[in-house]
Amino acid sequence: MKQPQCLTTNRDVVKVLPSLNYMNILSKTLKELKQEDSDDSFYICNIGDIVKKHLYWLQSLPRVKPHYAIKCNPDNMMLKSLIAMGTGFDCASKAEIRQMLELGVDPKHIIFANPCKQASHIRYARDNNVSLLVFDNEDELKKTKKIYPNAKLVLRIQTDDSAATCQLSMKYGAPLDACEGLLLSAMNMGLNVVGISFHVGSGTSDSTAYVESIRNSRKLFDYASEIGFKFTLLDIGGGFPGTTDVELSFDSIANDINKELNDFFPMKSHSHVKIIAEPGRYYAASAFTLVTNVIARKIGETDDVSDKACKGDSNVAMMYYVNDGVYDSFNCMFYDHANPKPSLIYLSDKRSQDGQCYPSSIWGPTCDGLDKLNDCLYLPRLNIGDWLVWSNMGAYTVAAGSSFNGFKTKNTYYFISELDLSLLKDHVGRPSFLSSSFSFEDFQCDEYQSDNPLLDINGNKKSQSLSFFAKCIKSKVSPDGEIKSGIAITATM
């Protein structure tokens, strides 16, 4: 078997290109996979997207230090990029804490943010000096008192998460009328409570929940100081969007949060209060693009299509089978209420299109009828061996994926543009970590000759300059990497 010339299976390698565009990356990567006789699905990760998201966070929420929620996507290279830039981390379990410690994170940059913890996981946190622990009930206080009496505790309060796609408040967060009692109990047990946290739910469409929760937190800060605690931490949780196709933009959430923080935690009187957040999807969503292979096809009659609206004028209906499904990356359709659609089609050979689109359904590879990704899309005619490209697949996808039926997307290939690499180098909090943990290699490829066209899902040919650039940061960070207004880079590790 021929060795691939450019692609490497070494996951620590990041390929550097003059500029990122789908055409070059896909054509080169797929050509090399073909040489390996591989038709496996894979991820493309744009490390530059993570870098720019972080810079944009620092600029938009200058008082809030992000602690990435690793449950969202525990990809090691993504974590290493964030470590290099100096974020903290939100861990939910012993395994997540261990992963971060093994990557060299200082335990003081970890918050163990699961309010209902397994006893042995608390012991592990204690033995490894992870001291910041979240709680929301009396029994957790008693458990912590026994195992880790000198932990720094953070009380998670309930929020109105009715506007969130993924609600959490039915499970976590102390009801507001129970909070004072919990703080008193903690005081009576001699425990050290250092602050308040909340989570407005993931994928929220209304920033009122942040506003109200910041106000509620301030009331509890005041009460805590009356009974003798000196609070030093406010944790505003997650819920920030990672893409632009959302009802409530990141900018608008950030504006509302900044205003509330200035009103209720003014710098002047609250400079001793550290403000953190636990963003997950904000960092992960747009950095990862999934590429799946069309492994099988059935051409049927539209009479077989149950959805009448889907049939249109066509007599033919297509069923396409791809090699990742709801039991792996597309578990987000169930657990994260996501509705992924392919954004691009990469044809496996040089052929002309008839310009027609057909009612098409897309199915995952397992033998379960539930494993359906799209019911009714109008797609150009695809052949077995073509590739479907799914963007924005970084959040809550691989993290909960299984290998049911033996199918698993295993490989991720990492890329960064030269400009984004220089941004990363300029703003790196830990230069030594960057040089010891990453290997940057030039991705040498000739400008691709467009004989295997890239199509949008309507069958229109796409240009070669399609960029991976994250849309949601376009307004403040220009495509050439220039940051338009004054930015305070405060990476602190």
Ligand X SMILES: Cc1ncc(COP(=O)(O)O)c(C=O)c1O
Known catalytic residues are 367
Among the listed ranges 175-183, 236-244, 295-303, 422-430, the one in contact with ligand X (CB under 6 A) is: 236-244
Residue 246 Ramachandran class (φ > 0 left, ψ -120 to 50 alpha, else beta): beta
Residue 265 or 396: which CB sits closer to ligand X?
Answer: 396
**415 forms part of the interface with ligand X (CB under 6 A):** no
**199 forms part of the interface with ligand X (CB under 6 A):** yes
Residue 7 or 168: which CB sits closer to ligand X?
Answer: 168
Coil/strand/helix, residue 439 = strand
307 CB neighbour count, 10 Å cutoff? 11
From 100, 110, 67, 487, select the one nearest 240 (Cα to Cα).
67
Write down the least CB distance from residue 69 to ligand X, Å. 4
**239 forms part of the interface with ligand X (CB under 6 A):** yes
Nearest-angstrom CA–CA distance, 391 and 105:
30
**69 forms part of the interface with ligand X (CB under 6 A):** yes
**394 forms part of the interface with ligand X (CB under 6 A):** no
From 123, 136, 24, select the one nearest 413 (Cα to Cα).
24
List 57, 221, 240, 440, residue binding ligand X (CB under 6 A)? 240
Residue 125 or 345: which CB sits closer to ligand X?
Answer: 125
List 26, 44, 70, 72, residue binding ligand X (CB under 6 A)? 72
From 26, 14, 10, 47, select the one nearest 445 (Cα to Cα).
26
- DSSP assignment letter at 463: P
From 394, 389, 204, 390, select the one nearest 286 (Cα to Cα).
394
Among the listed ranges 51-59, 231-239, 385-393, 462-470, the one in contact with ligand X (CB under 6 A) is: 231-239
Write down the least CB distance from residue 396 to ligand X, Å. 7
Write down the least CB distance from residue 285 to ligand X, Å. 8
Residue 97 or 455: which CB sits closer to ligand X?
Answer: 97
Write down the least CB distance from residue 64 to ligand X, Å. 13
Write down the least CB distance from residue 113 to ligand X, Å. 4
**74 forms part of the interface with ligand X (CB under 6 A):** no
* Phi, psi of 301, deg, nearest 5: -90, 150
List 88, 173, 195, 238, residue binding ligand X (CB under 6 A)? 238
Exposed / middle / buried, residue 271 (Cβ in 10 Å: 0-12, 13-18, 19+): exposed
**173 forms part of the interface with ligand X (CB under 6 A):** no
Residue 333 Ramachandran class (φ > 0 left, ψ -120 to 50 alpha, else beta): alpha
Nearest-angstrom CA–CA distance, 240 and 157:
18
List 113, 224, 345, 382, residue binding ligand X (CB under 6 A)? 113
Write down the least CB distance from residue 173 to ligand X, Å. 10
Give the side-chain half-sphere CA count within 13 A for 353.
Answer: 23
Nearest-angstrom CA–CA distance, 411 and 10:
10
Q: What is the residue-wise DSSP string for 69-121? A: EGGG---HHHHHHHHHHT-EEEE-SHHHHHHHHHTT--GGGEEE--SS--HHH
Q: What residue type is 4 in one-letter code?
A: P
**153 forms part of the interface with ligand X (CB under 6 A):** no
**237 forms part of the interface with ligand X (CB under 6 A):** yes
Q: Which of residues 75-94 bind ligand X (CB under 6 A)?
A: 90
Tokens encoding 101? 């410690």
Write down the least CB distance from residue 331 to ligand X, Å. 14
**280 forms part of the interface with ligand X (CB under 6 A):** yes
- Supply the angle between the helices 176-188 and 138-147 in degrees, to the nearest 10: 30
Q: Note the maximum CA span of the chain.
A: 76
Among the listed ranges 30-38, 40-48, 279-287, 325-333, the one in contact with ligand X (CB under 6 A) is: 279-287
Residue 89 or 415: which CB sits closer to ligand X?
Answer: 89
The length of the chain in residues reads: 493
List 66, 88, 173, 279, residue binding ligand X (CB under 6 A)? 279
Write down the least CB distance from residue 77 to ligand X, Å. 19
Q: Compute how many residues bind ligand X; rule: CB under 6 A.
A: 16
**273 forms part of the interface with ligand X (CB under 6 A):** no
Write down the least CB distance from residue 12 to ligand X, Å. 26
From 421, 390, 437, select the one nearest 17 (Cα to Cα).
421
Residue ranges binding ligand X (CB under 6 A):
69, 72, 90, 113, 168, 199, 202, 237-240, 278-282
